[in-house]
Structure 1
Amino acid sequence: MLNRSLASFWRSQRRWFYGLLAGVTALSLIVGTPQPTQAISWWELLMRGAQIFQLSNLSDQQEVQLGQQINQQVGVQLNRKGTPISNHREATAYINSIGQRLAAASDRTDIPYTFQVVEDPGINAFATMGGFVYINAGLMYEAENEAELASVMAHEIGHIVGRHAVGQMRQQALASGALAVAGLDQSTAVQIGVDLALNLPHSRGDEFDADRIGLAMLRRAGYAPSAMVSFMQKLQRGGSPPAFLSTHPNVSDRVQTLRQMLQENPPTASEVNGLDAVSYRNLLRRFAQ
């Protein structure tokens, strides 16, 4: 009885075994074929279990997945600098409420967004792919009202909507020789993404594009669009540009472009929210307690 059972089991598994054998043979032929244009062999990828991202055709799901890994490493880097992501629940909830309101008014509502406060007194904000936006505590206190704060957040969401980080990553990978025919491996993509978020500026074209996208988003969310102009002017008058603007295009050019857009399409009666400076300051004082 036992012998018959074993024989029956072997017959049922024979097709699976032969299929596996054929697959291994085919793979050995691929590995044995020279691949001079690929930085990473298919065999190495199989052994490492590495995911390859084709940046020219990155899906939303892949972008979010990559953004999550970049976000984890950004958190590690910020901790090392002594400016960690804040665990202040009320402040984080407030930033998230503004961000989700803006994201819902964006042209890219099919990805999740995460908004975080960085415990840094410097005036700065940045974003990475996959819906991750970071706002320094110093920028929150520099803003005169919620609309000014929202204008910066709208600009950063504009970078995500425009997929600017994906384009930058491709350029960096090409420049460094890390981009193979198959695409970019996961660990290299994360390293480039962290560097882009923390150290490398956007191009002049990307910044103007994020201003345009952000202004439209700000208006659809009901915030006063004049706040984007007033906040830029305020920072410009402060002397040396803060980190948020020091690597961006000339602030005067950006202000002039925004003013022209508002002249061509003046604000409506519904686009006046977020200008209450007293309520905003009271809220910040509560956060500091």
Structure 2
Amino acid sequence: MINWNGFLASYRLWRRRWFYPFISVSVALSLCLSTPLPSKAIDLLPLLFQGVQIFQLSNLSTRQEIDLGKQMNDELRQEVRISRNQQLNSYVEQIGRRLAANSDRNIPYTFQVVEDEAVNAFATTGGFVYINEGLIKTAENEAELASVIGHEMGHIEGKHLIKQMQQRAIASGVASATGLNRSQAVGIGVDLALNRPRSRQDEYDADKRGLRALTRAGYAPSAMVSFMKKLQGRSSIPTFLSTHPGASDRVKSLQRQIDNQTGNSSYGLDNAAYQAKIRALLR
């Protein structure tokens, strides 16, 4: 005699385990197939079998942004050479932590030194900041170095790279109705971080945010202006400025903001102490 109660219970268990996941995959499949595919469309099968990791850049959560930044960092470490000088990295991180504690965004930051003599710095997303050794050597004091770190943190705070990634994805036709897959998002982000200048508006915004964090952290705000002026006066324009348009206007804007502040600090302006520290760290 058939135990109908047991049979029905087993059927319901089977349906829960297999029917609903099947429906979910079917919906995802129909959505992708019903969307007109551009020339660089998302490869569907890898998405289905790798967990369908899709980034909606227009509605990215903080957790997703940090995860995206980590994945970009993995890719960038194959493109640039991260310094293994633990003491130098620790020193830059120490400055960064001081600024992060006074920034307007509470996310975990990661500060890394790049073994490159070019005077440059850049940031991706989710808290990842990169400073070239060439820039560290060019700065005359700790406050000038802090001003650059603060500026790059300002880009992260303003989510400037994410906005650029979205614009690039739409312009190049790789964004679908669901968004971007992981490899596409990482590839676009890394390329933009390394090779493309940000807009004039983004630079002004990063300057403003960086100056605010610099001042709150107790550093001399004048260092942001002095460092930028120093680079402008060089015979050849450093990468740091050549990829950041409107430098002279930015100097004027920063100086106006500093002039309107009261009780500006002079912390971090000891040139001799900084130069001695850097020489010891780079031996």
Aligned-pair CA distance for 1:49? 2.3
1:211 corresponds in structure 2 to 207
Counterpart of 1:188 (choices 172, 184, 189) is: 184
Distance 1:15 1:155, change over 3 A: same
Deviations 1:68-124 (A, max 9, x none): 00001001011xxxxx10010110000000001101100002x11000011111100
1:288 corresponds in structure 2 to 282
1:89 alignment partner AA: Q
Matches for 1:126-145 after TM superposition, within 5 Å: 126-145=122-141
2:166 corresponds in structure 1 to 170
Distance 1:170 1:13, change over 3 A: same
Counterpart of 1:45 (choices 29, 40, 47) is: 47
CA distance in 2: counterparts of 1:50 and 1:29, whole angstroms:
12
Partner SS state of residue 129, structure 2: strand
CA distance in 2: counterparts of 1:63 and 1:276, whole angstroms:
37
Matches for 1:1-289 after TM superposition, within 5 Å: 12-19=9-16, 20-21=18-19, 23-24=21-22, 27-28=25-26, 31=29, 35-37=34-36, 39-40=41-42, 45-78=47-80, 84-109=81-106, 111-266=107-262, 268-269=263-264, 271-289=265-283
1:177 alignment partner AA: G
Determine if contact 1:133/1:157 at 8 Å carries over to the other structure: yes
CA distance in 1: counterparts of 2:29 and 2:43, whole angstroms:
7
Partner SS state of residue 245, structure 1: helix
Task: Structure 1 unaligned segments of length 5 or more: list them.
Answer: 79-83
User: In terms of mean alpha carbon deviation, does 240-249 or 48-57 score higher?
Assistant: 48-57
CA distance in 2: counterparts of 1:253 and 1:94, whole angstroms:
31
Partner SS state of residue 131, structure 2: strand
1:156 alignment partner AA: E
2:63 alignment partner AA: Q
Aligned-pair CA distance for 1:31? 3.8
2:191 alignment partner AA: D
Partner SS state of residue 34, structure 2: coil
1:35 alignment partner AA: S
Determine if contact 1:31/1:41 at 8 Å carries over to the other structure: no
Distance 1:16 1:103, change over 3 A: same
User: In terms of mean alpha carbon deviation, does 36-45 or 166-175 score higher?
Assistant: 36-45
CA distance in 2: counterparts of 1:91 and 1:101, whole angstroms:
16
Distance 1:93 1:35, change over 3 A: same
CA distance in 2: counterparts of 1:244 and 1:53, whole angstroms:
29
Determine if contact 1:31/1:43 at 8 Å carries over to the other structure: no
Deviations 1:12-31 (A, max 9, x none): 43212123236535754764
Aligned-pair CA distance for 1:43? 6.6
Distance 1:174 1:29, change over 3 A: closer
Structure-2-length-normalised TM-score: 0.91
* Identity of matched residues, %: 51
Determine if contact 1:146/1:276 at 8 Å carries over to the other structure: yes
Determine if contact 2:88/2:282 at 8 Å carries over to the other structure: no
